[in-house]
Structure 1
Amino acid sequence: MAQQQVKRKRRAVSGVIILDKPLGFSSNAALQKVRWLLNAEKGGHTGSLDPLATGVLPLCFGEATKFSRYLLDADKCYETVMQLGVTTTTADAEGEVLERKPVSVTQADIESVLPAFRGAIKQVPPMYSALKKDGQPLYKLARNGETVEREARDVTISKLELLAVNGDKVKLSVACSKGTYIRSLVEDIGAQLGCGAHVAELRRTQAGPFDISQAISLEKLIALQEQQDSEALDQFLLPSDCGLTHWPIVELTEHSSYYWLHGQPVRGNQAPRFGMVRVYNHQAQFIGIGEMNDDGLVAPKRLIQSK
């Protein structure tokens, strides 16, 4: 009789790891790998990066997962390499080639079209995306050869700079609002240039307050876990509220903390008049997030479980 494998007990770890997502991994595959390395009970990521993309992917564990949705709304920065002269089904290098055209654009030509894509623009999401139509992800419909009407969405490109031109490859730096598709942006720029284009490379350099300098490679995490153990990776865990540093802090007394943690709105020290806030107790411990109500009280929204 085969010996039954003993399931290892997961650890209740909380915090955020900024992963430098490797090429070829889906965001979920990267999350599950790091969660296994950490031996963490619970984990979630903060918005998908395509398998083709690398770079900043904040991964939330334990109590930090309660605040991951607020990181989804964060602005992002990317560096991308456009392949001119070739359009593909997915608008990136993973798709099948749709059309090839000769490339005769100059650096000046590229510079001349970029202003039209800066600021507030309308963008049609690609068919190969996780957006849903009647409950079905668009990429599943696209794989079946279907194309459906997609409504143009408002996005903001706060920075779009030409970094380099190397033959038919163009490197761009992009800073944008949530929901922006770099594949659609590159495809639209290629159409404007008249030769078409797709994303050959994509690297996310910033997501909200996190940048690439804080990111840890998967190889480093694997090596450390193999040399030592899962606990050795705890040194890379940032505090659960590290993605909310732009929110005001409200400090509560021991008395107020008790009632707040039991669902009651309370008065806080140096509280703003409105908006979302980070809440700390009398021992300077983060205990959750709240929202200011019309009475000037901090109403609890998401609480940190006390150990």
Structure 2
Amino acid sequence: MFFYKKRNIHGLLLLDKPQGISSNNALQKVKIIFNAKKAGYVGTLDPLATGILPICFGECTKFSHYLTESNKRYHVIAKLGEKTSTSDSDGIIIKKRPILFTSYKLDLSIKELTGSIEQIPSMYSAIKYNGIPLYKYARQGFNVTRSTRKVIIYDIYSIHQEKNLIEFKILCSKGTYIRTLIDDLGEKLGCGAHVIFLRRLQVASYFCDQLVKISDLYKLLSMKNIHNINFFKNIDNLLMPIDSPVSFLPKVYLSPEKSYNFQLGQRVNFHSNIKNNLVRVIEKENDKFIGLGKISAEKILIPYRLVSRFTN
């Protein structure tokens, strides 16, 4: 199947990233299976991590930053008493300390890490310095000075500690490094800690019950070879619509004539109670999403981000 011309496909796949591979590796596997010309993932997950990795195809990539900016939810298990070079179990242990903290100290430390906090990203992160990811410097033994980042930890809950393991769930803002959070918690507790399990449970309004596994895609691929079914039709049915990343925005409908002008980048007259807010613009005749617009106080719909007119 891989000698076919690359396909122009559009939509969102909620991938359940497997453990042990990078986010980019997962993306490349999916691109090959879909034979897709253009695709990108939202929000890097470490090789250790599993869970929601949104993959945007084609025109959907124009709206992916709305997912990048969204809140995330994680399930994490950390091992206490050991600090590692990467702040997770993929690194080497660089310090061991006894676990001596009290339940009061744990509660206090959790509270100190909740709300608006500052983090220093790990050297083993995908943040770029002079165009090169930090982890590449780290692998060569270099340490780069990193600026602190403000993030918001909305909630740390379902906390359970047993012996040298601690488990909880986290709701946080974009840009939060869970490994850094766990490393900081370990330091506050005076014993060190690192991540041994991490699963992303939520991105924006998407939850784990909507996920597709790479193994599921390979099963469909093998069915194609054995039963000669319409493979691409089956996998394309797994995609969510182009406007999925902006599903929180209200819809407005245009006539075919106004839709045509809007897609040419022209402003169109539009009466609505919605003012100075982004909206999803739908061509009424075929219920097709054609882009984002903004309705001005003068009752004008202004093109903001358009879907290509040549999208099927």
Q: Name the stretch that deviates more: 170-179 or 111-120.
A: 111-120
1:250 and 1:279 in contact (8 A); partners too: yes
CA distance in 2, matches of 1:277, 1:269: 13
Q: 1:6 to 1:286 in 2, by over 3 A?
A: closer
| CA distance 1:44–1:6, change in 2 (3 Å) | closer
Match of 1:286 in 2: 289
Superposed, which structure 2 residues align to 1:28-67 within 5 Å?
A: 28-67=24-63
In structure 2, the partner of 1:303 is 306
**1:230 match:** 232
Cα distance in 2 between the residues matched to 1:271 and 1:43:
36
Higher mean C-alpha deviation, range 187-196 or range 243-252: 243-252
Trace 1:198-213 onto structure 2 (pairs within 5 A): 198-213=194-209
| Cα deviation, residue 70, structure 1 | 1.8
Among 117, 121, 128, the residue aligned to 2:113:
117
Per-residue deviation, 1:296: 4.3
Give the corresponding residue for 2:228: none
Taking a change above 3 Å as real, the CA distance of residues 91 and 6 of structure 1, as seen in their structure-2 partners, is: closer
Q: Secondary structure at the match of 1:192?
A: helix
Residues 18 and 57 of structure 1 are in contact (CA less than 8 Å); yes or no, is this contact kept in structure 2?
Answer: yes
Whether the aligned pair in 2 keeps the contact of 1:85 and 1:195 (CA below 8 Å) is yes
Asked if the contact 2:271–2:299 (Cα under 8 Å) also holds between the matched residues in 1, the reply is no
Q: What SS does structure 2 have at the residue aligned with 1:93? A: coil
What are the residue-to-residue correspondences of 1:255-274 with 2, within 5 Å?
Answer: 255-270=257-272, 272-274=274-276
Q: Counterparts of 1:1-307 in structure 2 under 5 Å?
A: 7-228=3-224, 229-270=231-272, 272-283=274-285, 284-293=287-296, 295-305=298-308, 306=310, 307=312
Between the aligned residues of both structures, percent identity stands at 39
Q: 1:240 to 1:6 in 2, by over 3 A?
A: closer
Cα pair 1:14 1:240 within 8 Å, conserved: yes
Partner Cα distance (1:39, 1:6) in 2: 7
Measured against aligned partners, the alpha-carbon deviations of 1:265-294 in whole angstroms (never above 9, x if no partner) come to 223353621132211112221111123456
Distance 1:83 1:268, change over 3 A: farther
Q: Distance in 2 between matches of 1:120 and 1:175?
A: 12
Residue 51 of structure 1: how far off its partner (Å): 0.9
Moved more, 262-271 or 252-261: 262-271
SS of 1:59 mapped into structure 2 = strand
TM-score (norm 1): 0.93
Cα distance change of structure 1 residues 271 and 125 upon mapping to structure 2, 3 Å threshold: farther
What is the one-letter code of the residue matched to 2:10?
Answer: S
State the Cα distance separating 1:239 from its structure 2 match. 0.7
Once superposed, what is the RMSD of the aligned Cα atoms? Answer: 1.9
| SS of residue paired to 1:36 | helix
Q: Note the residue ranges of structure 1 that are not aligned, 5 or more in a row.
A: none
Structure 2 counterpart SS, 1:16: strand
Contact kept in structure 1, 2:272 and 2:299, CA below 8 Å: no
Please say if residues 157 and 170 of structure 2, whose CA atoms lie closer than 8 Å, have aligned partners that are also in contact. yes
4+ residue stretches of structure 1 with deviation over 3 A?
A: 105-109, 291-296
Number of aligned residues: 303
- Structure 2 spans left out of the alignment, 5+ residues: 225-230
Conservation of the 8 A alpha-carbon contact between 1:249 and 1:278: yes
User: 1:249 Cα shift?
Assistant: 1.7
| CA–CA separation in structure 2 for the residues paired with 1:108 and 1:223 | 50
Deviation at 1:132, TM superposition (A): 2.1
Q: Secondary structure at the match of 2:142?
A: coil
Tell me the distance in 2 between the aligned counterparts of 1:185 and 1:94: 16
CA contact (8 A) 1:248 1:278 kept: yes
